[in-house]
């Protein structure tokens, strides 16, 4: 399986073009991230086609960010799905990754996978395995029809389930800040569960402006099943409508927060 990927990685590793290849490995029936450094190991490579998303994806872009920081001068390869590549592009736009030091090898997601993730872009720019499937992107349009009272009631009840595990932030490929506002005592009171409502969730939502690539890992990770993705999708929609910007599409385009733009009409 995935022979074309394995061949390519072997070639890259043996010619020394990359120092390591970051991908997934199947061990004891579970996948885990693994840095392949020798061409001999590559046979263990897995692209993680599990039934559930947690057995398919990993925030590889986040791990790559740390690898690049800690091993200056070295180059790395990485296995990318559509979401991983969007994360890489967004991280490049935010100056967290030097794209010259990264070689991406793409996988297009299967139709089942793309549907399970409700993915808007289930393939990277180029891929060696898989086929392009038509994206499905159910944006939260039905929300507009609900009354503010209903929406308030809904989100209040959802936010209240939060156990403040920080899982959403920890898994997020775009959460690269060294100091996090969610750990600041000015914003979030220590030792209280649920965290300050709705500050905790709104702070995170606002910090997703120009960052969120809609990979959905946060919602997968959330032990309280808060529909975080619907919230961040809304943020993305607002940013797209007001500033015509979508994160993770063009790695040379900076987020609207970094540009002096005309103020949108009617603030």
Q: How far apart are CA 132 and CA 252, in angstroms?
A: 25
Max intra-chain CA distance, the chain: 62
Rounded to 5 degrees, what are φ and ψ at 138? Answer: -75, 95
Give me the half-sphere count of Cα atoms (radius 13 Å) on the Cβ side of residue 250.
8
Q: Is 143 in the site for other proteins (CB under 8 A)?
A: yes
Q: Among the candidate windows 15-23, 46-54, 103-111, 201-209, which touches other proteins by CB under 8 A?
A: 201-209
Task: Say whether residue 197 binds other proteins (CB under 8 A).
Answer: yes
Provide the mask over 28-67, with x wherever binding to other proteins is found by CB under 8 A and - wherever it is not: ----------------------------------------
Kindly write out the interface string for residues 156-195 of this chain, putting x where it contacts other proteins by CB under 8 A and - elsewhere: xxx-------------------------------------
Quick one: 32 or 146, whose CB is closer to other proteins? 146
Q: Quick one: which segment of 1-9, 51-59, 83-91, 155-163 binds other proteins (CB under 8 A)?
A: 155-163
Q: Which of 64, 81, 79, 67 is nearest to 25 (CA)?
A: 79
Helix and strand totals (H; E) in the chain: 9, 5
Distance in angstroms (rounded) separating the CA atoms of residues 6 and 42: 6
Q: Where does residue 229 rank: exposed (0-12), middle (13-18), buried (19+ CB within 10 A)?
A: buried
| Interaction between residue 149 and other proteins (CB under 8 A) | yes
Residues in contact with other proteins by CB under 8 A are: 118, 138, 140, 142-143, 146-158, 197-198, 202, 205-206, 209, 227, 229-231, 234-235, 238-239, 242, 263-264, 267
């Amino acid at each position: 399986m995935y022979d074309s990927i394995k061949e390519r990685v072997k070639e890259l590793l043996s010619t020394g073009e990359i120092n390591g290849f970051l991908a997934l490995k199947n061990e004891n029936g579970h996948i885990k991230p693994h840095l392949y450094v020798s061409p001999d190991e590559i046979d263990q490579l897995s692209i993680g086609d599990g039934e559930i998303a947690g057995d398919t994806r990993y925030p590889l872009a986040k791990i790559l960010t740390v690898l690049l920081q800690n091993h200056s001068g070295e180059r790395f390869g990485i296995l990318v799905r559509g979401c991983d590549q969007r994360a890489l592009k967004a991280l490049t736009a935010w100056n967290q990754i030097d794209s010259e030091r990264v070689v991406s090898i793409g996988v297009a997601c299967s139709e089942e996978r793309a549907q399970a993730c409700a993915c808007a872009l289930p393939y990277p720019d180029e891929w060696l395995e898989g086929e392009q499937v038509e994206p499905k992107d159910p944006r939260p349009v039905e929300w507009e029809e609900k009354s503010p009272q209903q929406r308030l009631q809904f989100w209040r009840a959802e936010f209240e389930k939060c156990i403040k595990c920080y899982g959403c932030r920890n898994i997020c490929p775009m959460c690269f800040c060294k100091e996090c506002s969610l750990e600041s005592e000015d914003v979030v009171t220590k030792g209280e569960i649920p965290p300050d409502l709705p500050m905790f969730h709104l702070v995170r939502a606002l910090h997703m402006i120009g960052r969120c690539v809609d990979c959905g890992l946060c919602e997968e990770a959330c032990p309280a099943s808060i529909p975080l993705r619907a919230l961040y999708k809304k943020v993305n929609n607002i940013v797209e409508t007001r500033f015509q910007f979508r994160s993770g599409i063009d790695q040379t385009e900076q987020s609207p927060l970094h540009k002096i733009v005309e103020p949108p009409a009617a603030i």
